[in-house]
């Protein structure tokens, strides 16, 4: 092994520029794969974050909505019926819409998801700073941390939201009473208001005030025993008419475009890995073809095939490892300069999977060149065959 290591390092040193250049190519491939993985995680989180963190185990839809939140309507009577089922601890209505927060200086407004919740019930997110909504109809708002960072607001400040009411825009001032963790929905940061306030300010096709009992899109259900998700889901659908009840994972997987988006990004990542495999394999194959005489000389003086193969594999591993390290550092460095509203999330598990995949495709791609080097005949390589 020491002989193989010596041969590998000696050749790398003599062709340092060439090997460093190829390490840079591997670094760029690593950068591409990591960013595709981070984009997939960011876009996925942008669709699922609120539902994934929902402080309830089940989500109830109107049965005809086919798990489409925008098409679902759950009125107060249905919510009361759900809360009366044995095993249910609490039920909270949740409404979804979109509004914009105007920026100072005439910049483009900041689009956010407006989520209406019932204070103190499932659906209202826990705050990391400040207080919960407390009152059912107050003009108060909880903002997620992305909104707080982008709009530079804190507890006690007032934000103004712009909402389409008929053919015109109306502006509504809301006092920030709390800040919560990132709670994106529909690829937008979220703000949370009491359900009556949501019904008043949500975009409407015709001008008109809200109603006493707003009709929500879905109902968040918290169970007395969180381990009884499947049993309680079936029981609720049997005892309450016109509802479909699912767990949180099923709920966010059925948000519009989520599954197709994740499939597309997974396909892109797979093709990027395949391209990396071909590029690395091609480089080391060319390397082997260029040094056939040297391999022939080594074999002519009695160097075993195992040493030749080990030297080639050590080169592949070292060059790939250097490229992956450089690419990972560049990716993490570039990620620090992105603004908080860009959907790029370097999640440790997906990032580690991407890095390990690249480290594996290096030796895998180089196996062809190793196999070729083992088949080199010394006399033919040196031009001495007769």
**How far is C-alpha 82 from the chain's CA centre?**
33
Over 60: is that where the pLDDT of 257 sits? yes
Write the DSSP symbol of residue 70.
G
pLDDT at 285: 75
Highest mean pLDDT among 114-128, 205-219, 343-357: 114-128
pTM: 0.80
CA gap 57, 88 in Å, rounded? 10
Can you list the pairs that 250-254 forms with residues at least 24 positions away whose Cβ atoms lie under 8 Å? 250/67, 251/51, 251/54, 251/59, 251/67, 251/218, 252/47, 252/48, 252/51, 252/52, 253/48, 254/67, 254/68
Q: Which residue has the higher pLDDT, 64 or 266?
A: 64
Average pLDDT rounded to a whole number, residues 294-318: 74
DSSP per-residue string spanning 261-285? HHHHHHHHHHHHHHHHHHHHHHHHH
Token reading at 247:
């767990």
pLDDT at 220: 96
Average pLDDT rounded to a whole number, residues 119-148: 90
Q: Report pLDDT digits (tens) over 176-192.
A: 999 999 999 988 999 99
CA gap 6, 19 in Å, rounded? 16
For 87: left if phi > 0, alpha if psi spans -120 to 50, otherwise beta; the answer is left
CA gap 168, 163 in Å, rounded? 8
Highest mean pLDDT among 82-86, 136-140, 336-340, 345-349: 82-86
* Cβ contacts of 298 within 8 Å, gap of 6 or more: 7, 307, 308
Q: Report pLDDT digits (tens) over 19-74.
A: 888 889 889 888 888 888 888 888 888 888 999 999 999 999 999 999 999 999 99
CA distances from 59 to 25, 67, 93, 239, 244 (A): 47, 10, 10, 15, 8
Q: Report pLDDT digits (tens) over 110-127.
A: 999 999 999 999 999 999
pLDDT at 282: 79
CA gap 298, 304 in Å, rounded? 8
pLDDT tier, 273 (very low <50, low <70, confident <90, very high otherwise):
confident
Assign 18 to helix, strand or coil.
helix
Q: Which residue has the higher pLDDT, 304 or 33?
A: 33
**Residue 101, beta-bridge partner list:** 110
Assign 64 to helix, strand or coil.
helix
Q: Picking from 25-39, 136-150, 351-365, which range would have the lowest pLDDT averaged per residue?
A: 351-365
């Amino acid at each position: 092994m020491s002989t193989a290591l010596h041969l590998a390092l000696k050749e790398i040193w003599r062709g340092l520029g060439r090997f460093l250049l190829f390490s840079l190519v591997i670094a760029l491939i690593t950068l591409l794969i990591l960013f595709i993985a981070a984009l997939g995680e960011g876009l996925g989180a942008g669709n699922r974050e609120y539902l994934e963190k929902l402080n309830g185990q089940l989500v109830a839809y109107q049965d005809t909505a086919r798990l489409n939140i925008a098409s679902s309507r759950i009125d107060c009577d249905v919510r009361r019926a759900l809360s009366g089922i044995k095993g249910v601890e609490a039920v909270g209505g949740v409404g979804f819409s979109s509004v914009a927060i105007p920026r100072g200086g005439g910049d483009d407004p900041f689009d956010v998801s407006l989520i209406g919740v019932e204070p103190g019930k499932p659906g209202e997110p826990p705050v990391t700073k400040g207080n919960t909504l407390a009152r059912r109809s107050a003009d108060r708002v909880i903002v997620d941390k992305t909104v707080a960072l982008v709009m530079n607001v804190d507890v006690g400040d007032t934000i103004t939201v712009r909402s389409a009411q008929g053919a015109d825009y109306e502006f509504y001032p809301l006092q920030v009473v709390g800040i919560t963790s990132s709670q994106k929905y529909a690829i937008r940061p979220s703000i949370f208001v009491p359900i009556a306030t949501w019904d008043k300010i949500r975009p409407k096709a015709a001008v008109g005030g809200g109603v006493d009992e707003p009709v929500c899109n879905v109902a968040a259900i918290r169970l007395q025993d969180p381990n009884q998700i499947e049993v309680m889901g079936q029981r609720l659908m049997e005892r309450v008419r016109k509802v479909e009840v699912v767990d949180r994972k099923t709920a966010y997987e059925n948000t519009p475009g989520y599954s197709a988006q994740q499939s597309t990004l997974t396909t892109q990542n797979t093709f990027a890995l395949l391209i990396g495999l071909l590029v690395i394999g091609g480089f080391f194959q060319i390397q082997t073809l260029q040094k056939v005489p040297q391999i022939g000389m080594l074999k002519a003086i009695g160097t075993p095939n195992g040493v030749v193969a080990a030297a080639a594999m050590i080169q592949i591993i070292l060059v790939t490892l250097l490229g992956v390290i450089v690419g990972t550092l560049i990716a993490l460095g570039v990620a620090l300069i992105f603004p908080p509203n860009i959907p790029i999330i370097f999640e440790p598990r997906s990032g580690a999977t991407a890095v390990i995949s690249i480290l594996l495709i290096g030796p895998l791609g180089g196996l062809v060149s190793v196999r070729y080097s083992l088949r080199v005949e010394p006399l033919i390589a040196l031009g001495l065959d007769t």
